Chain A
Amino acid sequence: MILPCNESMNRWINDSILRFLSAAGPYLSNMNRASEVSRTESWPDARGRYGEFGGRFVPETLMHPIEQLTEAFEAARRDPKFQAELDHLLRHFAGRPTPLFHARRLTEHLGGAQIYLKREDLLHTGAHKINNCLGQGLLARRLGKTRLVAETGAGQHGVATATVAAFLGMDCTVYMGEEDMARQAPNVFRMRLLGAEVVGVASGSKTLKDAINEAMRDWVTNVTNTHYLLGSVLGPHPYPLMVREFQRIIGQEAREQILTRTRRLPNLLVACVGGGSNSIGLFYDFIPDREVKMVGVEAGGRSLTLGEHAARFAGGKPGVLHGTYTYVLQTPDGLIANTHSVSAGLDYPAVGPEHSALYRQGRVKYCHVSDAEALEAARDSSSWPIQNPKSQIQNLDDDGCRYISN
């Protein structure tokens, strides 16, 4: 099992494994039949669609800037100089490659499944977010932009954006829900220390969704000199594509590392899914490996009542939010629901459109973990053993299979 470490990693590094064990069992039993041959290599199409999902649903003012961004991204990804600079920075600034750690005691405790952790938390600024921020930062410079705006939930993306802005000598404004500012105060301090302006957002649920609204309003107003450095595989095309391409290094490294170490592919990948950038990053290069199963873990919050969780595939339906057509938690009237999760980075009512496509296709299975289960797992993780998940994992790994989580 490979678990990617992301913004909420300190909790999730433990609880995704544990919760996956209890929640994923039923999914996995259905996963033995061959899933549809992957079409994802060709996703997205020219219109930014992943099957029926994705697209560009934005006010007209943003359309041409988005077209320019798409062109610049397509040119950059084919430009060896751009790739070389990004690669250099990923190595020497961010700290790649990250280790793939064999969690020996967890493996023993859980009864034999070989568990590996992809340590994205060891990157500079503490999360995978820096991969994408470096890529988009270089792209913004290429576009001649002098200012970055970003949203942040837990603060990890805000810190990574502020870091890249400081590195590139750009101005930086980060929008953050007031509730998130209160629960993630140390990251607010870090962003300000790095020279970013942090603007509290008091509208709506005062969390990530509202921060994105405000960042988009800033972008539409200052679009001539400003790049919106969106932090996940969300938003209008090309963002879901671009962020995936900047994050897939997680899976590329993990795949090479596990093959070198164990001479085989893992049986299962597990990752938490907020917007879904760390999970897409881990999953993407394993998608053609049909024997590798994948589980995305969503935030189950307090309960599965609308407004109490962020499990889009458990309670949402397709709709449009923040420029993309995807699964969205919403009322029957099409109003976007508030969400709740103890994890600020997962507390968001929509999900990246490629996840919706992978869900629809069945290539990735999605489950959810409640606040209580996550907190319990975090508590228990300091003093293995734990009762419940053990029997579950034994069902999963009689063959001594390997799991990677991130």
Chain B
Amino acid sequence: MMTAVATSRIEARFRELRERQAKGLVVYLTAGDPSLEATGELLAAIERGGADLIELGVPFSDPLADGPVIQRASERALRAGATLRKILEHLPRWRDTLRAPLILFTYFNPVLQFGLEKFAREAAQAGADGALVVDLTPEEAGNYGGVMRAHHLDTIFLAAPTSTDERLELAARSSTGFLYLISRTGVTGERAELAASTRTLVDRARRVTSLPLAVGFGISRPEQVREVQALADAAVVGSAVVHTIEERYPSGGAAAIEQFVRWLKEGTGSSPA
């Protein structure tokens, strides 16, 4: 007898991409930047622009894995009152208009203070599909994976160029949905070139897991998106989108962000000014 296995929205999206022989574009934005109202509009625009998956950043006071662009976005979002609680309150409305899987990208302390069980329950009810906790490694995760899975949420862990094969395997084993590969040592931010370490890391990851692989950190232009997509299953663009929101959203509105994501996705023409 066949047992029905629940397929997460993230798994389904990667399967669909594979069937189309396409590669994914994952877009990151900070929730509440510049306001919680704007986030709803930006999410819709990012999906229209062609994002296949969306990472929604929960702003933290001390984002030590982030470079200056996301640090500034976090400050704007916190000034706008975007706490985890507020984000989860707004999430059902945002979810209604979106098809793309939504991954909450957060630091651990806000989740810890909110309560792990409550976080998983409310995130699932609000329509999130998974979470990535940037300063929570598999060793310290304790019952995080179990609690999240009980609420049908995917847990995405990171692997870095400094991860040993053993750690790479641990990250893969602890992840569901996909595995997030950090393209270079360092904080988030736009870079002119893709690190040479990317290919090696993707190859090493392929040897230990059949999970889809997304590569992020430092990807800001369509050529880089293409380059990553040639290696992995998806490319993640964060700081470049957040930077564009900072510079163009105030005057150009959500349409400017949609245009930017489309430029990343389709890779034609020059950066829309």
Contacts and interface: CB of A to CB of B under 8 A. Distances in A.
B61 interface: yes
A328 B60 CA distance: 14
Nearest to A210: B62
A128 interface: no
A217 B67 contact: yes
B108 interface: yes
Given A204-B62, A333-B84, A56 B139 contact: yes
A335 B78 contact: yes
Interface of B: 60-65, 67, 71, 75, 78, 83-85, 107-114, 134-137, 139-140, 157-164, 167, 171, 182, 185-187
Nearest to B66: A217
A64 B65 CA distance: 16
A213 B62 contact: yes
Contacts of B160: 59-61, 63-64
A335 B109 CA distance: 7
Q: Which 3 A-B pairs have the closest CB atoms?
A: A334-B113, A334-B110, A221-B186
Contacts of A57: 108, 135-137, 140
B85 A333 contact: yes
B61 A204 contact: yes
Contact of A319 (B109, B139, B161, B163): B109
Contacts of A222: 185
B182 A61 contact: yes
Contacts of B157: 60
A273 B83 CA distance: 31
A58 interface: yes
B222 to A, nearest CB: 25
Contacts of A203: 71, 75
Interface in A289-326: 319-323
A330 interface: yes
Given A321-B109, A336-B109, A223 B185 contact: yes
A76 interface: no
A323 to B, nearest CB: 7
A59 B134 contact: yes
A28 interface: no
Contacts of B109: 319-321, 328, 330, 334-336
Contacts of B134: 59
A320 B135 contact: yes
A209 interface: yes
B113 A223 contact: no
Given A57-B140, A59-B158, A60-B171, A335 B60 contact: yes
Contacts of B84: 333-334
A64 B162 contact: yes
A224 interface: yes
Interface residues of A, number: 37
Contacts of A220: 64-65, 185-187
B112 A319 contact: yes
Given A58-B135, A217-B187, A334 B111 contact: yes
A234 to B, nearest CB: 13
Given A216-B64, A223-B162, A333 B135 contact: no
Nearest to A223: B185
Contact of B113 (A56, A65, A224, A333): A333
B85 A58 contact: no
A217 B67 CA distance: 8
Given A209-B62, A217-B187, A333 B163 contact: no
Contacts of B75: 203
Nearest to B60: A335
B185 A221 contact: yes
B31 to A, nearest CB: 13
A81 interface: no
B64 A322 contact: yes
A47 interface: yes
A352 interface: no
A220 B187 CA distance: 7
Contact of B65 (A47, A59, A204, A332): A59
A322 B62 CA distance: 9
B162 A61 contact: yes
Given A333-B85, A334-B112, A335-B83, A61 B137 contact: no
A332 B65 CA distance: 22
Contacts of A266: none
A55 interface: yes
Contacts of A328: 109
A330 B112 CA distance: 12
Interface in A62-97: 62-65
Contacts of A61: 158, 160-163, 182, 185-186
A320 B137 contact: no
Query: Most chain-B CB neighbours within 10 Å: which of A55, A57, A322?
Result: A57
Nearest to B158: A60
Contact of A217 (B64, B114, B164, B182): B64
Contacts of A319: 109, 112-113
A336 B62 contact: yes
Contact of A59 (B67, B135, B140): B135
A332 B113 contact: yes
A27 to B, nearest CB: 28
Contacts of B63: 213
A62 B135 CA distance: 10
